[in-house]
Structure 1
Amino acid sequence: MILYGIIAGVCAYLLFFVSAQCAFRVDEGALAALTRFGAARRDSQGKILLFSPGLHFKLPWDHLRLAPVREQSLHLAGQIGGTTAIASDGTVVHFDGVLRHAADPARVEQYLFGCDDPTEHLANLFMCLVRNEIANYAVGDGQGQPDEVAWSQLRRDSRQLSDQLEQRYTQRLAQRYGVVFSGVDLKDILPPDALVDALNAVMNARIQAQADYALAEADSARRVMAAQHNVEVARRKAQAAATEIKELARALAQLQRDGILSAYVDRRRVEILSQAKHLLVGSAA
């Protein structure tokens, strides 16, 4: 009985394993094809057998290949070689790009079996094409300044460059690789590293100059305020001295009118002489 139970368990496991290997699901926005021992499965007319979205079954030794027929966005920034290209004037510019594409339902066989990895192949191919267009893009075509650098014109004409890439290559590559291209978008075309360093240096110098100017202006304002304060203090002291002199003159004039000015002067002379430690006596010549 135990042996029968073990055999039944093994059979159930094998049945479950085979069922799991035989069933496969195709999501919306994709088509599937099967290969058997390396060869694509075909119908009676010799066309590749395609499976629409839904649940399907296959033999355990069949291999599933999926082709996305809805639009995919392929970013060129993460490809081999980075996102740099040599412009026509010899400068190295940085860029980022997005390739919008999908597998052509009428050419799924070309998409799946034309190369080992269609996505990587298209990314590397378009990276080379973009670098070629950037290198051969003419500077000074009459639209920009005669001395305009390539980076500046490439950044300004990025839309035109994207349209140029789309017109030149997408139709030809679509027929060759079984892909429908929705568009090519070049963006974030950045200046060379040397120019970035120079711009950063200019920006830092400008910030430093503005800071120095602000400090000098604040120091000058402080000095002007201090000078104005000192002038005001001196004016008030002079005004107080003038007031004191006027009051003294008024008092002396009153003593003169009262006829006691001489007596006041004599008394003050005696007070001063009594407080003096040294007395210089001279005779008139």
Structure 2
Amino acid sequence: MLLLAFLLGLCVYIAFKVVIRALYIVKPNERAVLASFGRAVRLGDQWVVDAHLDEDERERYRFPQLRMIGPGGPYFKWPWQEVHKVEVDTKSIDLTWDPSKRQSTIEAVTKDNLTTGVNGQIRFRVAESNLYAYCFGVDSPLEHVMGYFIAVLRERIANFVDPKGQTLVDTGDVESEMTSAAVELAEGVSINDLRKNLPLLNDYMETQCRSTGARYGIELDAALITQIDPPSEVDRALSAINSTRNQVAADISTARADAEQQITMSKRAVDIASNNAQAEVAPLRELATTLMGIKRTGGGAALRAYLRNMRIPLLKRARRIVQVVEPASEDTAALVTGSMNAEPHSR
């Protein structure tokens, strides 16, 4: 009886272990990796190669490519085999997530030694091309990725400079003293600069975290840093500094606009004066051209006749005509002086 019960129990165990637990399915949002005696089934000698890693990191994070089992089933496995399933759909997690402690914000120190709080989310998914790193590389891949992300974020915040602050004023149009003061003012408030440039900060984090897929088997889909809050005791001072900076920038813009308006008006005045001068000179040039043409065509006699005819309308409008001749002697000089003071009978 004991032997029969033992054989019956053995059959039940074999049926449960081999038949029932040997079958498994893979959901549509899952991928599976099969391991025999703890060793995953590999694709020959193929290795994961990532262009975002340097030479040293490629040697350190050198993982083999595994045979991935797609959605479907039921699949069969032997008792000495183990199935590792991972979810490959995109997920989101708060920056404050930490399995070792509870926290409501991430603290970071800015360039001007102010402690600020950072909140946001990141979207990630498991890298299907590097399941070895996710399943066998580290114990907690997500915890490693979060630690790496926070470290890069704190380094960026500590060294962040507003890229638009250097172009607040144009060094070619403003005096050097005003330029240096404006640039110094633009670089003085790191928290305000971070708030204004959140898209740049998110893009930088996405760029720096492209190698997480090769390191830990997790690809960063997007970084969504949504909130940067200074301490309450310095919030009022930062608001005052920000208002002063905006006022200075507005004054500089107004002064530049006034200067540009004055320059434009001066240019227009010069153009108008030039046009008036050309308008006065044009008839004289045309008359000179006409006289030269008459002399060239008819000679000196024709030119004198033309000048005589042109004087007739002028003589009709003249009220007094004074003619000066060279005196030949004292008698003729007195005669010319008397004729100069004479008034004609007709106008």
TM (norm. structure 1) is 0.58
SS at match of 1:151: helix
User: Given the alignment of the two structures, is residue 123 of structure 1 paired with residue 146 of structure 2, yes or no?
Assistant: yes
Residue 163 of structure 1 corresponds to: 203
Deviates more, 1:90-99 or 1:53-62: 53-62
Between the aligned residues of both structures, percent identity stands at 26
Per-residue Cα deviation, 1:235-272 (whole angstroms, up to 9, x for no partner): xxxxxxxxxxxxxxxxxxxxxxxxxxxxxxxxxxxxxx
CA-to-aligned-CA distance 1:8-64 (integer Å, 9 cap, x gap): 245224422444442333222221112233321235677522111233222233233
Instruction: Confirm or deny: 8 A CA contact 1:29 1:53 kept in the other structure.
Output: yes
| Pair 136,33 (structure 1): closer, same or farther in 2 beyond 3 Å | same
Q: 2:72 aligns with which of 35, 38, 54?
A: 54
Which of 177, 187, 198 is 2:226 aligned to? Answer: 187
Number of the residue aligned with 1:72:
91
| Aligned pairs for 1:127-206 within 5 A | 127-138=150-161, 141-142=165-166, 146=186, 149-167=189-207, 169-195=208-234
Unaligned runs of 5+ in 2: 47-64, 169-182, 238-347
Residues 32 and 66, structure 1, Cα contact 8 Å, conserved in 2: yes
- In structure 2, the residue matched to 1:28 is 28
Question: What is the CA RMSD across the aligned residues, in angstroms?
Answer: 3.2
Give the conservation status (yes or no) of the 8 Å contact 1:174–1:180: yes
2:196 aligned partner, one-letter code = R
Which residue identity is paired with 1:128?
A
Alpha-carbon distance, 1:133 to partner:
0.8
Contact 1:74–1:123 under 8 Å retained in 2: no
> How many residues are matched?
197
CA positional deviation for 1:3: 5.8
Please, which runs of 5 or more residues in structure 1 have no aligned partner?
Answer: 200-285
Q: What secondary structure is seen at the aligned counterpart in 1 of 2:31?
A: strand
Confirm or deny: 8 A CA contact 2:125 2:220 kept in the other structure. yes
Q: What letter corresponds to residue 229 of structure 2 in structure 1?
A: L
Could you tell me how far apart the structure 2 residues matched to 1:72 and 1:92 are? 29
- Evaluate the alpha carbon distance shift between residue 150 and residue 20 of structure 1 in structure 2; reply closer, same or farther with a 3 A threshold: farther
Structure 1 residue matching 2:203: 3-state secondary structure:
helix
Change over 3 Å in CA distance of 1:120–1:2 after alignment to 2: same
Deviations 1:133-192 (A, max 9, x none): 11111258246963753223222322221012223x133333444443321111222222
Distance in 2 separating the partners of 1:131 and 1:40: 37
Deviation at 1:107, TM superposition (A): 2.8
TM-score (norm 2): 0.49
SS in 2 for 1:119: helix
- Native 8 Å contact 2:40 2:66 kept in 1: yes
Structure 1 17/63 Cα, relative in aligned 2: closer, same or farther at 3 Å? closer
Letter aligned with residue 105 of structure 1:
E
Secondary structure, counterpart of 1:163 in structure 2: helix
1:34–1:90 Cα change, 3 Å = same
Query: For residues 241-252 of structure 1, what are the structure 2 equivalents within 5 Å?
Result: none
**By how many angstroms is 1:75 displaced?**
2.2
Q: 2: distance between equivalents of 1:136 and 1:62?
A: 50
- In structure 1, give the amino acid aligned to 2:161: A
Spell out, residue by residue over 1:204-259, the C-alpha distance to the aligned partner (whole angstroms, 9 max, x if none): xxxxxxxxxxxxxxxxxxxxxxxxxxxxxxxxxxxxxxxxxxxxxxxxxxxxxxxx
In 2, Cα distance between equivalents of 1:24 and 1:105: 20
Question: C-alpha distance in 1, partners of 2:88/2:39?
Answer: 22
Comparing 22-31 with 181-190, greater Cα deviation is found at: 22-31
